[in-house]
Chains A and B, each alone.
Chain A
Amino acid sequence: MDATILLFLLQDGVTNGAIYALLALALVLVFAVTRVILVPQGEFVTYGALTLAMLDLGKVPGTAGLLIVFAALALAVEVWANRRRLSLKLSGRLALFYVLPPLVIVVLAGWLAPMRLGPVPQALLAIAIVSPMGPYLYRIAFQPLSEASVLVLLIAAVGAHFSMTGLCLLFFGPEGLRAQPLITTGFTAGPLPVSGQSIAIYLAALGLMLALYLFFGRTILGKALRATAVNRLGARLVGVRTALSGQLAFLIAAAIGALSGVLIAPVTTVFYDSGFLIGLKGFVAAIVGGLVSYPVAVAAAVGVGLVEAFASFWASSFKEIIVFMLIIPVLLVRSLTATHTEDEE
Protein backbone atom coordinates (compact mmCIF):
# COMPACT_ATOMS: atom_id res chain seq x y z
CA MET A 1 0.00 0.00 0.00
CA ASP A 2 1.39 3.41 -0.92
CA ALA A 3 0.43 6.86 0.24
CA THR A 4 -2.03 7.39 -2.62
CA ILE A 5 -4.00 4.27 -1.79
CA LEU A 6 -3.94 5.22 1.87
CA LEU A 7 -5.36 8.64 1.04
CA PHE A 8 -8.00 7.08 -1.17
CA LEU A 9 -9.08 4.69 1.53
CA LEU A 10 -9.13 7.47 4.11
CA GLN A 11 -11.28 9.62 1.87
CA ASP A 12 -13.60 6.73 1.10
CA GLY A 13 -13.84 5.83 4.77
CA VAL A 14 -14.59 9.34 5.95
CA THR A 15 -17.19 9.83 3.22
CA ASN A 16 -19.05 6.65 4.14
CA GLY A 17 -18.48 7.42 7.80
CA ALA A 18 -20.23 10.78 7.38
CA ILE A 19 -23.32 8.99 6.06
CA TYR A 20 -23.23 6.45 8.90
CA ALA A 21 -22.85 9.34 11.33
CA LEU A 22 -26.06 10.93 10.08
CA LEU A 23 -27.91 7.64 10.45
CA ALA A 24 -26.40 7.02 13.88
CA LEU A 25 -27.61 10.44 15.04
CA ALA A 26 -31.12 9.62 13.87
CA LEU A 27 -31.04 6.26 15.64
CA VAL A 28 -29.83 7.75 18.92
CA LEU A 29 -32.45 10.50 18.72
CA VAL A 30 -35.34 8.14 18.02
CA PHE A 31 -34.26 5.72 20.73
CA ALA A 32 -33.82 8.46 23.32
CA VAL A 33 -37.22 9.96 22.67
CA THR A 34 -39.35 6.90 21.91
CA ARG A 35 -37.25 3.86 22.99
CA VAL A 36 -37.73 2.49 19.48
CA ILE A 37 -34.67 0.93 17.84
CA LEU A 38 -35.43 2.21 14.38
CA VAL A 39 -34.63 -0.81 12.21
CA PRO A 40 -36.41 0.76 9.20
CA GLN A 41 -34.04 3.75 9.27
CA GLY A 42 -32.31 2.20 6.23
CA GLU A 43 -35.56 2.11 4.28
CA PHE A 44 -35.78 5.89 4.41
CA VAL A 45 -32.30 5.90 2.83
CA THR A 46 -33.50 3.61 0.06
CA TYR A 47 -36.64 5.69 -0.46
CA GLY A 48 -34.62 8.90 -0.69
CA ALA A 49 -32.11 7.42 -3.13
CA LEU A 50 -34.67 5.77 -5.42
CA THR A 51 -36.88 8.86 -5.38
CA LEU A 52 -34.00 11.02 -6.52
CA ALA A 53 -33.05 8.51 -9.23
CA MET A 54 -36.62 8.50 -10.59
CA LEU A 55 -36.80 12.30 -10.52
CA ASP A 56 -33.54 12.29 -12.49
CA LEU A 57 -35.31 10.28 -15.17
CA GLY A 58 -38.14 12.81 -15.20
CA LYS A 59 -40.64 10.31 -13.78
CA VAL A 60 -43.00 10.63 -10.84
CA PRO A 61 -41.36 8.42 -8.18
CA GLY A 62 -43.14 5.46 -6.61
CA THR A 63 -42.66 7.06 -3.20
CA ALA A 64 -45.39 9.57 -4.13
CA GLY A 65 -47.84 6.67 -4.15
CA LEU A 66 -46.23 5.29 -1.01
CA LEU A 67 -46.68 8.58 0.77
CA ILE A 68 -50.40 8.42 0.07
CA VAL A 69 -50.51 4.85 1.40
CA PHE A 70 -48.73 5.92 4.59
CA ALA A 71 -50.92 8.99 5.07
CA ALA A 72 -54.14 7.04 4.45
CA LEU A 73 -53.17 4.33 6.94
CA ALA A 74 -52.12 6.88 9.56
CA LEU A 75 -55.37 8.81 9.07
CA ALA A 76 -57.37 5.61 9.45
CA VAL A 77 -55.57 4.78 12.71
CA GLU A 78 -56.12 8.32 13.99
CA VAL A 79 -59.81 8.37 13.10
CA TRP A 80 -60.33 4.99 14.75
CA ALA A 81 -58.53 6.09 17.90
CA ASN A 82 -60.72 9.22 18.09
CA ARG A 83 -63.94 7.64 16.88
CA ARG A 84 -65.91 8.71 19.94
CA ARG A 85 -64.78 12.31 19.99
CA LEU A 86 -64.63 13.34 16.34
CA SER A 87 -65.52 17.01 16.19
CA LEU A 88 -65.29 19.51 13.36
CA LYS A 89 -62.22 21.03 14.97
CA LEU A 90 -60.49 17.68 15.30
CA SER A 91 -61.39 16.70 11.73
CA GLY A 92 -59.86 19.94 10.54
CA ARG A 93 -56.70 19.23 12.48
CA LEU A 94 -56.50 15.72 11.08
CA ALA A 95 -56.96 17.03 7.53
CA LEU A 96 -54.25 19.60 8.10
CA PHE A 97 -51.83 16.93 9.25
CA TYR A 98 -52.75 13.80 7.27
CA VAL A 99 -54.38 15.02 4.06
CA LEU A 100 -52.94 18.39 3.14
CA PRO A 101 -49.16 17.67 3.25
CA PRO A 102 -49.25 14.47 1.14
CA LEU A 103 -51.67 16.09 -1.29
CA VAL A 104 -49.48 19.17 -1.77
CA ILE A 105 -46.29 17.11 -2.05
CA VAL A 106 -47.73 14.59 -4.50
CA VAL A 107 -49.24 17.31 -6.70
CA LEU A 108 -45.93 19.16 -6.57
CA ALA A 109 -44.05 15.98 -7.48
CA GLY A 110 -46.37 15.24 -10.41
CA TRP A 111 -45.97 18.79 -11.66
CA LEU A 112 -42.22 19.21 -11.14
CA ALA A 113 -40.94 15.72 -11.99
CA PRO A 114 -41.22 16.03 -15.80
CA MET A 115 -39.50 19.42 -15.68
CA ARG A 116 -36.20 17.90 -14.46
CA LEU A 117 -35.20 20.91 -12.44
CA GLY A 118 -31.65 19.79 -11.80
CA PRO A 119 -29.91 17.86 -9.05
CA VAL A 120 -30.36 20.14 -6.03
CA PRO A 121 -34.08 21.00 -6.40
CA GLN A 122 -34.75 17.35 -7.18
CA ALA A 123 -32.86 16.29 -4.06
CA LEU A 124 -34.95 18.70 -1.96
CA LEU A 125 -38.14 17.38 -3.56
CA ALA A 126 -37.05 13.80 -2.82
CA ILE A 127 -36.48 14.68 0.84
CA ALA A 128 -39.87 16.42 0.97
CA ILE A 129 -41.60 13.33 -0.40
CA VAL A 130 -39.95 10.88 2.01
CA SER A 131 -39.79 12.88 5.28
CA PRO A 132 -43.53 12.92 6.14
CA MET A 133 -43.53 9.12 6.06
CA GLY A 134 -41.60 9.21 9.36
CA PRO A 135 -44.38 10.69 11.48
CA TYR A 136 -46.99 8.63 9.66
CA LEU A 137 -45.02 5.46 10.36
CA TYR A 138 -44.85 6.47 14.03
CA ARG A 139 -48.61 7.03 14.10
CA ILE A 140 -49.34 3.67 12.49
CA ALA A 141 -46.87 1.34 14.16
CA PHE A 142 -45.44 2.90 17.31
CA GLN A 143 -47.78 5.44 18.89
CA PRO A 144 -50.33 2.75 19.85
CA LEU A 145 -47.44 0.93 21.58
CA SER A 146 -45.93 3.95 23.30
CA GLU A 147 -46.18 2.33 26.75
CA ALA A 148 -44.81 -1.04 25.57
CA SER A 149 -41.40 -2.49 26.44
CA VAL A 150 -38.28 -1.94 24.35
CA LEU A 151 -38.52 -5.52 23.10
CA VAL A 152 -42.09 -5.13 21.82
CA LEU A 153 -41.10 -1.88 20.12
CA LEU A 154 -38.11 -3.63 18.53
CA ILE A 155 -40.37 -6.36 17.14
CA ALA A 156 -42.69 -3.70 15.72
CA ALA A 157 -39.65 -2.00 14.19
CA VAL A 158 -38.56 -5.24 12.50
CA GLY A 159 -42.11 -5.61 11.17
CA ALA A 160 -42.06 -2.06 9.86
CA HIS A 161 -38.72 -2.76 8.18
CA PHE A 162 -40.06 -5.81 6.31
CA SER A 163 -43.27 -4.02 5.30
CA MET A 164 -41.38 -1.01 4.02
CA THR A 165 -38.93 -3.16 2.04
CA GLY A 166 -41.84 -5.06 0.49
CA LEU A 167 -43.67 -1.85 -0.39
CA CYS A 168 -40.48 -0.53 -1.96
CA LEU A 169 -40.26 -3.62 -4.18
CA LEU A 170 -43.89 -3.12 -5.13
CA PHE A 171 -43.51 0.55 -6.04
CA PHE A 172 -39.99 0.60 -7.54
CA GLY A 173 -39.44 -2.95 -8.82
CA PRO A 174 -36.33 -5.06 -8.38
CA GLU A 175 -33.97 -3.03 -10.57
CA GLY A 176 -31.26 -0.91 -9.01
CA LEU A 177 -31.07 2.78 -9.81
CA ARG A 178 -28.38 5.42 -9.62
CA ALA A 179 -28.76 9.21 -9.70
CA GLN A 180 -26.77 12.07 -11.19
CA PRO A 181 -24.21 13.64 -8.83
CA LEU A 182 -25.41 16.73 -6.98
CA ILE A 183 -22.14 18.53 -7.69
CA THR A 184 -20.24 17.41 -10.78
CA THR A 185 -17.11 19.50 -10.34
CA GLY A 186 -14.25 18.23 -8.25
CA PHE A 187 -10.61 19.05 -7.66
CA THR A 188 -7.34 17.28 -6.99
CA ALA A 189 -5.50 17.67 -3.74
CA GLY A 190 -2.00 16.41 -4.49
CA PRO A 191 -2.40 12.89 -5.86
CA LEU A 192 -5.96 12.64 -4.56
CA PRO A 193 -8.99 13.53 -6.67
CA VAL A 194 -11.76 14.89 -4.46
CA SER A 195 -15.17 14.51 -6.04
CA GLY A 196 -17.83 17.15 -5.73
CA GLN A 197 -20.17 14.52 -4.36
CA SER A 198 -17.96 13.72 -1.38
CA ILE A 199 -17.70 17.43 -0.60
CA ALA A 200 -21.49 17.61 -0.75
CA ILE A 201 -21.62 14.73 1.71
CA TYR A 202 -19.21 16.43 4.15
CA LEU A 203 -21.03 19.73 3.93
CA ALA A 204 -24.44 18.13 4.38
CA ALA A 205 -23.24 16.08 7.35
CA LEU A 206 -21.61 19.03 9.09
CA GLY A 207 -24.53 21.33 8.28
CA LEU A 208 -27.02 18.87 9.64
CA MET A 209 -25.07 18.33 12.85
CA LEU A 210 -24.90 22.08 13.37
CA ALA A 211 -28.62 22.39 12.66
CA LEU A 212 -29.43 19.63 15.15
CA TYR A 213 -27.17 21.22 17.74
CA LEU A 214 -28.96 24.55 17.38
CA PHE A 215 -32.37 22.89 17.30
CA PHE A 216 -31.79 20.98 20.55
CA GLY A 217 -29.94 23.78 22.32
CA ARG A 218 -31.92 26.84 21.29
CA THR A 219 -35.50 26.04 20.33
CA ILE A 220 -38.34 25.16 22.67
CA LEU A 221 -39.37 22.23 20.46
CA GLY A 222 -35.84 20.84 20.54
CA LYS A 223 -35.75 21.21 24.31
CA ALA A 224 -39.13 19.49 24.54
CA LEU A 225 -37.69 16.53 22.62
CA ARG A 226 -34.72 16.35 24.98
CA ALA A 227 -37.05 16.64 27.94
CA THR A 228 -39.13 13.72 26.69
CA ALA A 229 -35.95 11.68 26.41
CA VAL A 230 -34.85 12.61 29.95
CA ASN A 231 -38.16 12.24 31.77
CA ARG A 232 -41.30 11.25 29.91
CA LEU A 233 -43.69 11.90 32.80
CA GLY A 234 -42.07 15.26 33.52
CA ALA A 235 -42.52 16.22 29.88
CA ARG A 236 -46.19 15.27 29.94
CA LEU A 237 -46.71 17.30 33.12
CA VAL A 238 -45.55 20.46 31.34
CA GLY A 239 -47.87 19.68 28.45
CA VAL A 240 -45.50 18.08 25.93
CA ARG A 241 -47.51 15.36 24.24
CA THR A 242 -45.53 12.12 23.95
CA ALA A 243 -47.10 11.63 20.53
CA LEU A 244 -45.81 15.00 19.36
CA SER A 245 -42.26 14.20 20.50
CA GLY A 246 -42.44 10.79 18.84
CA GLN A 247 -43.68 12.16 15.55
CA LEU A 248 -41.10 14.94 15.60
CA ALA A 249 -38.28 12.45 16.27
CA PHE A 250 -39.51 10.26 13.44
CA LEU A 251 -39.80 13.27 11.11
CA ILE A 252 -36.17 14.16 11.81
CA ALA A 253 -35.10 10.52 11.38
CA ALA A 254 -36.93 10.16 8.06
CA ALA A 255 -35.52 13.46 6.80
CA ILE A 256 -32.00 12.39 7.79
CA GLY A 257 -32.54 9.02 6.10
CA ALA A 258 -33.82 10.66 2.92
CA LEU A 259 -30.94 13.12 2.95
CA SER A 260 -28.46 10.26 3.31
CA GLY A 261 -30.18 8.46 0.45
CA VAL A 262 -29.98 11.52 -1.76
CA LEU A 263 -26.29 11.83 -0.93
CA ILE A 264 -25.39 8.23 -1.74
CA ALA A 265 -27.68 7.80 -4.76
CA PRO A 266 -25.09 9.22 -7.18
CA VAL A 267 -22.22 7.06 -5.86
CA THR A 268 -23.87 3.66 -5.43
CA THR A 269 -26.53 1.72 -7.24
CA VAL A 270 -29.40 1.40 -4.80
CA PHE A 271 -31.83 -1.52 -4.84
CA TYR A 272 -35.14 -1.80 -2.98
CA ASP A 273 -33.40 -3.58 -0.09
CA SER A 274 -30.05 -1.75 -0.03
CA GLY A 275 -30.94 0.52 2.85
CA PHE A 276 -30.98 -2.14 5.52
CA LEU A 277 -27.23 -2.82 5.43
CA ILE A 278 -26.44 0.90 5.38
CA GLY A 279 -28.75 1.51 8.31
CA LEU A 280 -27.18 -1.40 10.17
CA LYS A 281 -23.76 0.23 9.95
CA GLY A 282 -25.21 3.40 11.41
CA PHE A 283 -26.60 1.17 14.12
CA VAL A 284 -23.14 -0.24 14.91
CA ALA A 285 -21.95 3.32 15.48
CA ALA A 286 -24.99 4.16 17.59
CA ILE A 287 -24.35 1.07 19.74
CA VAL A 288 -20.77 2.16 20.39
CA GLY A 289 -22.28 5.37 21.76
CA GLY A 290 -24.58 3.23 23.90
CA LEU A 291 -27.61 4.60 21.99
CA VAL A 292 -27.33 7.71 24.19
CA SER A 293 -24.24 9.69 23.22
CA TYR A 294 -24.41 11.78 20.04
CA PRO A 295 -20.68 12.73 19.85
CA VAL A 296 -19.49 9.17 20.52
CA ALA A 297 -21.90 7.86 17.88
CA VAL A 298 -20.55 10.32 15.30
CA ALA A 299 -16.92 9.46 16.08
CA ALA A 300 -17.73 5.75 15.98
CA ALA A 301 -19.50 6.18 12.63
CA VAL A 302 -16.38 7.66 11.08
CA GLY A 303 -14.46 4.73 12.60
CA VAL A 304 -16.92 2.27 11.05
CA GLY A 305 -16.46 3.97 7.66
CA LEU A 306 -12.67 3.75 7.94
CA VAL A 307 -12.68 0.11 9.05
CA GLU A 308 -14.98 -0.70 6.16
CA ALA A 309 -12.73 1.08 3.65
CA PHE A 310 -9.58 -0.67 4.82
CA ALA A 311 -11.34 -4.02 5.15
CA SER A 312 -12.56 -3.79 1.58
CA PHE A 313 -8.98 -3.18 0.47
CA TRP A 314 -7.35 -6.00 2.43
CA ALA A 315 -10.13 -8.56 2.65
CA SER A 316 -12.96 -7.38 0.46
CA SER A 317 -15.06 -10.53 0.78
CA PHE A 318 -15.00 -10.18 4.57
CA LYS A 319 -15.61 -6.46 4.79
CA GLU A 320 -19.16 -6.68 6.19
CA ILE A 321 -18.12 -9.36 8.66
CA ILE A 322 -15.24 -7.25 9.91
CA VAL A 323 -17.47 -4.19 10.32
CA PHE A 324 -20.17 -6.03 12.21
CA MET A 325 -17.63 -7.87 14.37
CA LEU A 326 -16.68 -4.47 15.77
CA ILE A 327 -19.84 -4.64 17.81
CA ILE A 328 -18.73 -7.68 19.83
CA PRO A 329 -15.79 -6.14 21.74
CA VAL A 330 -17.85 -2.98 22.23
CA LEU A 331 -20.73 -4.88 23.77
CA LEU A 332 -18.30 -6.91 25.86
CA VAL A 333 -16.62 -3.82 27.27
CA ARG A 334 -19.96 -2.13 27.82
CA SER A 335 -21.46 -5.06 29.64
CA LEU A 336 -18.39 -5.37 31.85
CA THR A 337 -18.14 -1.70 32.72
CA ALA A 338 -21.81 -0.73 32.75
CA THR A 339 -23.30 0.41 36.00
CA HIS A 340 -26.76 -0.99 35.56
CA THR A 341 -29.00 2.03 35.57
CA GLU A 342 -32.07 0.60 33.90
CA ASP A 343 -34.36 3.53 33.38
CA GLU A 344 -37.64 1.70 33.00
CA GLU A 345 -40.65 3.58 34.24
Chain B
Amino acid sequence: MGKRERALLRPGKFRGRVLVMDAGDVQRAVWRIAHEILERNRGTEGLVLVGLQSGGVWLAKELAKAVAAASGSEAGRAVPVGALDVAYYRDDIGLRPVLPVAATDVPVALDEAVVVLCDDVIFTGRTVRAALNALMDIGRPAAVQLAVMVDRGYRELPVRPDYVGKNLPTRRDEMVDVSSEGVMLGEVVDEVSAGGQS
Protein backbone atom coordinates (compact mmCIF):
# COMPACT_ATOMS: atom_id res chain seq x y z
CA MET B 1 0.00 0.00 0.00
CA GLY B 2 1.40 3.36 -1.01
CA LYS B 3 1.05 6.81 0.50
CA ARG B 4 -2.27 7.46 -1.17
CA GLU B 5 -3.94 4.37 0.18
CA ARG B 6 -2.52 5.05 3.56
CA ALA B 7 -3.88 8.56 3.54
CA LEU B 8 -7.30 7.17 2.74
CA LEU B 9 -7.35 5.05 5.84
CA ARG B 10 -7.86 6.14 9.39
CA PRO B 11 -5.05 8.26 10.73
CA GLY B 12 -1.93 6.34 11.55
CA LYS B 13 1.78 6.61 11.32
CA PHE B 14 4.02 4.59 9.04
CA ARG B 15 6.74 2.74 10.88
CA GLY B 16 9.42 1.36 8.63
CA ARG B 17 10.93 -2.02 9.43
CA VAL B 18 13.15 -3.03 6.51
CA LEU B 19 14.96 -0.88 3.96
CA VAL B 20 14.28 -2.78 0.74
CA MET B 21 15.94 -0.37 -1.71
CA ASP B 22 18.31 2.43 -0.83
CA ALA B 23 18.55 5.73 -2.70
CA GLY B 24 21.09 4.28 -5.10
CA ASP B 25 18.87 1.30 -5.84
CA VAL B 26 15.96 3.62 -6.59
CA GLN B 27 18.09 5.79 -8.87
CA ARG B 28 19.37 2.74 -10.76
CA ALA B 29 15.79 1.45 -11.15
CA VAL B 30 14.76 4.83 -12.55
CA TRP B 31 17.57 4.70 -15.07
CA ARG B 32 16.70 1.15 -16.09
CA ILE B 33 13.01 1.96 -16.53
CA ALA B 34 13.91 5.08 -18.52
CA HIS B 35 15.92 2.93 -20.90
CA GLU B 36 13.13 0.37 -21.16
CA ILE B 37 10.66 3.13 -22.02
CA LEU B 38 12.98 4.45 -24.73
CA GLU B 39 13.58 0.96 -26.02
CA ARG B 40 9.90 0.03 -26.15
CA ASN B 41 8.80 3.30 -27.71
CA ARG B 42 11.85 3.85 -29.93
CA GLY B 43 12.56 7.29 -28.57
CA THR B 44 10.59 10.09 -26.99
CA GLU B 45 8.25 10.98 -29.85
CA GLY B 46 4.72 11.50 -28.51
CA LEU B 47 5.74 10.42 -25.04
CA VAL B 48 3.94 11.95 -22.00
CA LEU B 49 4.69 10.90 -18.44
CA VAL B 50 1.73 11.24 -16.12
CA GLY B 51 2.27 10.75 -12.40
CA LEU B 52 -0.59 9.75 -10.17
CA GLN B 53 -1.15 12.18 -7.31
CA SER B 54 0.60 12.20 -5.07
CA GLY B 55 3.07 9.26 -4.84
CA GLY B 56 3.63 8.92 -8.58
CA VAL B 57 4.41 12.52 -9.40
CA TRP B 58 8.04 12.49 -8.27
CA LEU B 59 8.58 9.24 -10.22
CA ALA B 60 7.19 10.82 -13.39
CA LYS B 61 9.53 13.79 -12.93
CA GLU B 62 12.56 11.57 -12.26
CA LEU B 63 11.74 9.36 -15.24
CA ALA B 64 11.33 12.42 -17.46
CA LYS B 65 14.82 13.63 -16.52
CA ALA B 66 16.29 10.19 -17.02
CA VAL B 67 14.52 9.64 -20.33
CA ALA B 68 15.66 13.01 -21.62
CA ALA B 69 19.24 12.35 -20.55
CA ALA B 70 19.30 8.78 -21.86
CA SER B 71 17.93 9.75 -25.23
CA GLY B 72 21.04 11.86 -25.57
CA SER B 73 21.70 14.34 -28.34
CA GLU B 74 18.77 13.07 -30.35
CA ALA B 75 16.31 14.73 -28.10
CA GLY B 76 17.67 16.69 -25.16
CA ARG B 77 14.21 18.08 -25.41
CA ALA B 78 12.07 17.74 -22.38
CA VAL B 79 9.46 15.02 -22.11
CA PRO B 80 6.13 16.51 -20.94
CA VAL B 81 5.10 15.58 -17.43
CA GLY B 82 1.56 15.68 -16.07
CA ALA B 83 -0.08 14.98 -12.74
CA LEU B 84 -3.36 13.15 -12.40
CA ASP B 85 -5.59 12.95 -9.36
CA VAL B 86 -8.01 10.07 -9.66
CA ALA B 87 -10.09 10.65 -6.50
CA TYR B 88 -13.30 11.34 -8.42
CA TYR B 89 -12.87 8.09 -10.36
CA ARG B 90 -12.29 5.80 -7.43
CA ASP B 91 -14.65 2.91 -6.83
CA ASP B 92 -14.60 3.27 -3.05
CA ILE B 93 -16.24 6.71 -2.87
CA GLY B 94 -18.76 6.55 -0.10
CA LEU B 95 -16.99 3.61 1.54
CA ARG B 96 -14.26 5.70 3.04
CA PRO B 97 -13.08 9.30 2.90
CA VAL B 98 -11.99 10.11 -0.63
CA LEU B 99 -10.68 13.59 -1.27
CA PRO B 100 -8.34 14.72 -4.01
CA VAL B 101 -4.85 15.39 -2.69
CA ALA B 102 -3.83 17.85 -5.40
CA ALA B 103 -4.97 19.26 -8.67
CA THR B 104 -4.89 17.39 -11.92
CA ASP B 105 -2.54 19.12 -14.32
CA VAL B 106 -1.97 17.63 -17.76
CA PRO B 107 -0.26 20.35 -19.78
CA VAL B 108 -0.43 18.75 -23.24
CA ALA B 109 -3.15 17.19 -25.33
CA LEU B 110 -3.19 13.43 -24.90
CA ASP B 111 -4.80 12.59 -28.24
CA GLU B 112 -2.45 10.20 -30.10
CA ALA B 113 0.14 10.48 -27.30
CA VAL B 114 1.85 7.55 -25.64
CA VAL B 115 1.07 8.02 -21.98
CA VAL B 116 3.19 6.36 -19.37
CA LEU B 117 1.28 6.35 -16.11
CA CYS B 118 3.69 6.48 -13.20
CA ASP B 119 2.99 5.41 -9.64
CA ASP B 120 5.01 4.48 -6.61
CA VAL B 121 3.36 1.16 -5.77
CA ILE B 122 0.93 -1.13 -7.56
CA PHE B 123 -1.23 -3.17 -5.22
CA THR B 124 -4.89 -4.04 -6.02
CA GLY B 125 -4.86 -2.26 -9.39
CA ARG B 126 -7.94 -0.21 -8.55
CA THR B 127 -6.09 3.11 -8.66
CA VAL B 128 -4.78 2.28 -12.13
CA ARG B 129 -8.31 1.39 -13.27
CA ALA B 130 -9.48 4.80 -12.02
CA ALA B 131 -6.56 6.48 -13.75
CA LEU B 132 -7.37 4.80 -17.07
CA ASN B 133 -10.94 6.11 -16.89
CA ALA B 134 -9.73 9.59 -15.99
CA LEU B 135 -7.27 9.60 -18.91
CA MET B 136 -10.04 8.69 -21.34
CA ASP B 137 -12.02 11.76 -20.26
CA ILE B 138 -9.00 13.96 -20.92
CA GLY B 139 -8.09 12.63 -24.34
CA ARG B 140 -7.63 9.58 -26.53
CA PRO B 141 -4.02 8.39 -26.23
CA ALA B 142 -2.54 6.11 -28.84
CA ALA B 143 -1.32 3.85 -26.04
CA VAL B 144 -1.13 3.81 -22.25
CA GLN B 145 1.71 2.11 -20.40
CA LEU B 146 2.30 1.70 -16.70
CA ALA B 147 5.48 2.24 -14.72
CA VAL B 148 5.76 1.52 -10.99
CA MET B 149 8.65 1.50 -8.57
CA VAL B 150 7.26 -1.41 -6.54
CA ASP B 151 4.86 -4.22 -7.46
CA ARG B 152 3.73 -5.79 -4.22
CA GLY B 153 1.13 -8.19 -5.64
CA TYR B 154 -2.45 -8.81 -4.45
CA ARG B 155 -4.03 -7.65 -7.74
CA GLU B 156 -7.84 -7.52 -7.74
CA LEU B 157 -8.20 -6.38 -11.36
CA PRO B 158 -6.54 -7.60 -14.58
CA VAL B 159 -3.87 -4.92 -14.58
CA ARG B 160 -0.15 -5.53 -15.17
CA PRO B 161 2.62 -2.93 -15.12
CA ASP B 162 4.87 -2.55 -18.15
CA TYR B 163 7.84 -1.28 -16.14
CA VAL B 164 8.66 -2.36 -12.59
CA GLY B 165 11.42 -1.13 -10.30
CA LYS B 166 11.17 -4.10 -7.98
CA ASN B 167 8.81 -7.00 -7.39
CA LEU B 168 8.39 -7.09 -3.64
CA PRO B 169 6.58 -9.94 -1.88
CA THR B 170 4.62 -8.50 1.05
CA ARG B 171 2.04 -9.45 3.60
CA ARG B 172 -1.30 -7.91 2.87
CA ASP B 173 -1.29 -5.81 6.00
CA GLU B 174 2.15 -4.41 5.39
CA MET B 175 2.87 -1.00 3.98
CA VAL B 176 5.43 0.11 1.44
CA ASP B 177 6.85 3.60 1.57
CA VAL B 178 8.50 4.84 -1.62
CA SER B 179 10.51 7.98 -2.24
CA SER B 180 13.69 8.94 -4.05
CA GLU B 181 15.43 8.24 -0.73
CA GLY B 182 14.54 4.57 -0.85
CA VAL B 183 11.86 1.95 -0.37
CA MET B 184 10.82 0.92 3.14
CA LEU B 185 8.68 -2.01 4.16
CA GLY B 186 6.76 -1.62 7.39
CA GLU B 187 3.39 -1.17 9.06
CA VAL B 188 0.97 1.59 9.86
CA VAL B 189 0.54 1.93 13.58
CA ASP B 190 -1.90 4.02 15.59
CA GLU B 191 -0.77 7.55 16.29
CA VAL B 192 -0.99 6.76 19.96
CA SER B 193 1.21 3.67 20.03
CA ALA B 194 3.62 5.25 17.55
CA GLY B 195 3.89 8.24 19.83
CA GLY B 196 4.45 5.95 22.76
CA GLN B 197 7.43 4.32 21.09
CA SER B 198 9.19 7.40 19.86
A, B bound: no
